Amino acid sequence: MANRIPVTVISGFLGSGKTTLLNRLLEASRRSPTDGEAAAGILFIVNELGAISLNHALVRHISESVVLLDTGCICCTVRGQLVDTLRTLFMEALHRKIPRFSRVMIETTGIADPAPIIFTLKYERFLSDRYVYDGCISVIDAVHGTEELQRYPVAIQQAVLADVLVVSKTDLASADRVLELKQTLLALNAEAIQYAAQNTPGLDDLLRLGSVRSNINRTVPQAGLWGQTAKRLSPPLHGNVAVLTLAWSLPLGRSVFTSAPGTLLEEPQLDLLRVKGILWFEGEKTATAIHAVHRQIYPLEALDCGFPDKDSVLVLIFRGMERDTVLQRVEQLLPGAREALSSGRNFIQ
């Protein structure tokens, strides 16, 4: 285990079909030499609420390699247990008490916000030295997904933090309902790849998609983020959630920018669900990535790669304030901002 072990998070609201997707992928992997090899070294961590461990039985193909965390939601009370579990598993594999594993997949509960899990994987010292966060796959129910995004903030978090979005139960929903959900997800998370559940690629390809998408999010932004100016994302989002994509042609002052996110977070009416961006600072030859979720700002990350353009780009996903008000506030803090068109991806049937 000299190299860091990739960890993939499988998220999705209650009843969206996470376990069904997992079972289908594992069943398909048994029939594919490529996927079979991909599944062979995976260790699965299944988390659920309740006194009776139902998912442990439902994930029927991998009982010998499932570690069940059933003391609570993985994003809250079980976070400490998650750290302990991953540490113990690593050490036991190192000392050959259990078979070595090449990847970890964590299936969260339906009410889990992936953000604390991702933060723990990235910044808990023992874990970050031995594991690497490798993307989030979120499952959304085509029948109820739009309403869930309207009613439950955690459903929005699961969507905006995903690298791959899998839309389930499309055969049970009308074409109009599926289209509405696809457009809503596109506006919430334009960079994520969308799939219909019944046509999701095999396990090996799906994991590669998550890895590639996650790496892109951490390094090179999509060319579409440097697109036309003065255009707004459409369609309008549900639940009073809006997306604002901004670009700056000139490098930003690091000291000026450093205080801006904190100032925005202090706005009493503004609920910043997600902030992500690629920034160019004055006098620096490489770009810097910024990530924030709710009121947690992650440490800035220096990126050692080239870019097609030296515009700085910042994406804000928020609610509670009008778009124009947020735009004006950002322009006050960071002059020179312009709206940019963020590219979307086709829904893959």
How do residues 292-314 score in pLDDT, each as one tens digit? 766 678 788 887 655 555 788 88
Span 133-162, average pLDDT? 91
Number of domains in the chain: 2
Span 94-107, average pLDDT? 87
Q: Per-residue confidence at 141, pLDDT binned at 50, 70, 90?
A: very high
Q: Per-residue confidence at 58, pLDDT binned at 50, 70, 90?
A: very low
Same domain as 203, residue 276: no
More confident position, 230 or 275: 275
Q: Per-residue confidence at 90, pLDDT binned at 50, 70, 90?
A: very high
Same domain as 246, residue 162: no
- Residue 236 is predicted with a pLDDT of 40
Q: Where are the alpha helices (DSSP H) in the chain?
A: 18-30, 33-40, 54-58, 79-94, 114-123, 125-130, 145-151, 153-160, 175-188, 203-218, 254-265, 323-333
Same domain as 181, residue 38: yes
DSSP 46-105: EE--SSS-HHHHHSGGGGGGEEEE-SS-TTTTTHHHHHHHHHHHHHHHHTTSS---SEEE
CATH code of the domain in which 307 resides: 3.30.1220.10
Same domain as 174, residue 71: yes
Residue 346 lies inside a defined structural domain of this protein: no
Same domain as 154, residue 10: yes
- Residue 218 is predicted with a pLDDT of 41
Domain extent for 82? 5-210
How is residue 240 written in tokens?
């009073």
- Residue 174 is predicted with a pLDDT of 94
Average confidence score pLDDT of the chain: 75
Per-residue pLDDT reduced to its tens digit, 210-229: 555 554 444 333 333 323 33
Contacts of 92 (CB under 8 A, 6+ apart): 98
Whole-model pTM: value is 0.66
CATH code of the domain in which 29 resides: 3.40.50.300
